[in-house]
Amino acid sequence: MIVRRLDEARRTPRRVVSKTWESTRLLLRNDGMGFSFHITTMYAGTETRMCYRNHLESVYCISGHGELEDCATGERHRIEPGTIYILDKHDEHVLRAETELTLACVFNPPLHGLEVHDATGAYPTTATAVEG
């Protein structure tokens, strides 16, 4: 059984900070579950372009408001509490945070722990693992 607390994990290397977001990775590859689980905060007033060519992701909005744009179609979707979006085709997308967004994210395959987006908006398949 694995038990972790978000407030405690935020004070460890499981908290990864980038220019437009921060993510606390509560479940990682070395936990052996086959997926990773993160609580991610997108900073208010930011825009982040992503394309997870190496991963599939599901994102559930816990709080805040924003907009998701599908780069292939130009289609835009409101993101607000209770909304889930699933990137099942390695979709290139832009997430715009009108207010601070708190998101629960699941990645398959799981992240190692310290990944940040590369120049294409993807996470690499190999990275430094977070221990513990």
Q: What is the DSSP string of 37-57?
A: EEEEEEPTTEEEEE--TT-EE
CB 23 within 8 A of CB 1: no
Name the CATH topology of 37-110: Jelly Rolls (2.60.120)
CB atoms within 10 A of CB 88: 9
> Measured between alpha carbons, how far is 30 from 3 in angstroms, rounded to an integer?
14
Q: Return the beta strands (E) in 52-92 as ranges.
A: 56-63, 66-70, 76-79, 84-87
Q: Is the pLDDT of residue 116 over 80?
A: no
**130: pLDDT strictly greater than 70:** no
pLDDT of 122 above 90: no
Choose among 132, 95, 100, 94: nearest CA to 113.
132
pLDDT in tens, 53-100: 888 999 999 999 999 999 999 999 999 999 999 999 999 999 999 999
| Residue of 113 and 17 predicted with greater confidence | 17
Confidence at residue 127, expressed as pLDDT on a 0 to 100 scale: 59
